[in-house]
């Protein structure tokens, strides 16, 4: 990728890898990818965005970033804390967020918790975390604790060839194009005895011990004070949640494509870029 710089950010409690795009004096943006993806999620989109200084992170436990220490987990608010540390490292008091899926959820939580820090919110097919019913809290906690204990005995899948690992990613919980899977594999795969394995932390697949209710999650949405624009993928995860979409005080646009429309092909990345270039250009 031309015009992209690989960096490592030491945040004190963890070291994260990131890609830097755009002019040094551009509008500051932190880009956050989805669950089990990495910074290459923005490999097609970021070079098409104009006038922005983008730090596309590998979130903790993903890509080339460090895993959290033994005994720690991957709660939503820990990602939010990481992003604030990244802003500190970059010397950014105020900044925008560009988030896809899990990254969009982290962005909404941060912009709602500390509205004075965030200047714009650009979201792709993600808004609030999946809700939990308050009455199910104890049962969910028990299930999560059991899964945590069982994880110690599990071994990661090993794929004999790079191609088989890419094919597995193409057919993952959210299907992606071959080109998207290959881009994610560049930062996501590592050689191991017998072939290749995904380098993401196995703890990322554990169920959340605690889920916010939809009512709690919407308090973050309502506290957001900056302009926010949401792209809904026509064949993605949000399109069928019409009741939620109608409640959102954000400008919205539906574009053709699946959940990874910004990464699956150049046409999708161009549509998303055109949309966000207009959004960031509004004074």
Domains of the chain: 4-130+137-145+210-281 (3.40.50.1820)
Best CA proximity match to 102, nearest among 156, 47, 60, 146? 60
Instruction: Specify the pTM.
Output: 0.97
For residues 115, 216, 85 and 48, what is the CA-based torsion angle, rounded to 10 degrees? -70
Mean pLDDT for 135-161 is 93
Beta bridge partners of 122: 98, 229
Active site annotation includes 101: yes
Mean pLDDT for 102-112 is 98
2 confidence band (pLDDT: 50, 70, 90): low
Whole-angstrom Cα distance, residue 75 to residue 80?
Answer: 9
Given a cut of 90, is residue 44 above it in pLDDT? yes
Query: Which pLDDT score is estimated for 233?
Result: 98
Mean pLDDT for 113-141 is 95
152 confidence band (pLDDT: 50, 70, 90): confident
Mean pLDDT for 78-82 is 98
Query: Which pLDDT score is estimated for 131?
Result: 87
Return the percentage of the chain with pLDDT > 70, whole number: 99
For residues 20, 110, 229 and 57, what is the CA-based torsion angle, rounded to 10 degrees? 20
Burial class of 134 by CB neighbour count within 10 A (0 to 12, 13 to 18, 19+): exposed
Among residues 41, 96, 101, 107, which one is catalytic? 101
Joined tokens for residue 51: 């006038």
Mean pLDDT for 2-28 is 95
Q: What is the 3-state secondary structure (H, E, C) of the chain?
A: CCCEEEEEEECCCCEEEEEEECCCCCEEEEEECCCCCCHHHHCCCHHHCCCEEEEEECCCCCCCCCCCCCCCCCCHHHHHHHHHHHHHHHCCCCEEEEEECHHHHHHHHHHHHCHHHEEEEEEECCCCCCCCCHHHHHHHHHHHHHHHHHHCCCCCCCECCHHHHHHHHHCCCCCCCHHHHHHHHHHHEEEECCEEEECCCHHHHCCCCCCCCHHHHHHHHHHCCCCEEEEEEEECCCCCCHHHHHHCCCEEEEEEEECCHHHHCHHHHHHHHHHHHHHHHCC
Joined tokens for residue 272: 């998303």
Instruction: Tell me the pLDDT tens digit for each residue of 248-258.
Output: 999 999 999 99
Identify which has the larger pLDDT, 131 or 184: 184
């Amino acid at each position: 990728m031309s015009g992209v710089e690989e960096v490592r950010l030491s945040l004190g409690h963890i070291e994260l890898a990131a890609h830097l795009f755009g002019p040094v004096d551009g509008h500051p943006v932190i880009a956050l990818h989805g669950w089990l993806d990495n910074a290459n999620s923005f490999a097609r989109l970021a070079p098409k965005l104009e006038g922005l200084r983008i730090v596309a992170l590998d979130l903790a436990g993903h890509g080339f970033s460090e895993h959290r220490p033994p005994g720690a987990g991957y709660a939503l608010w820990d990602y939010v804390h990481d992003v604030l540390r990244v802003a500190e490292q970059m010397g950014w008091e105020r900044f925008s967020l560009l988030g896809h899926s899990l990254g969009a959820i982290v962005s909404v939580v941060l912009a709602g918790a500390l509205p004075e820090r965030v200047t714009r919110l650009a979201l792709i097919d993600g808004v609030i975390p999946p809700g939990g019913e308050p009455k199910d809290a104890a049962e969910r906690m028990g299930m999560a604790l059991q899964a945590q204990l069982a994880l110690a005995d599990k071994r990661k899948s090993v794929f004999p060839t790079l191609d088989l690992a890419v094919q597995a990613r193409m057919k993952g919980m959210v299907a992606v194009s071959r080109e998207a899977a290959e881009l994610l594999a560049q930062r996501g795969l590592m050689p191991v005895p017998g072939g290749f394995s995904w380098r993401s932390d196995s703890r990322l697949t554990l169920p959340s011990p605690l889920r916010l209710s939809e009512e709690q999650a919407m308090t973050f949405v309502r506290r957001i004070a900056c302009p926010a624009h949401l792209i809904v993928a026509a064949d993605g995860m949000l399109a069928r949640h019409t009741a939620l979409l109608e409640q959102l005080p954000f400008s919205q646009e539906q574009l053709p494509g699946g959940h990874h429309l910004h990464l699956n092909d150049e046409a999708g990345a161009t549509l998303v870029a055109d949309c966000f270039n207009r959004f960031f250009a509004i004074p």
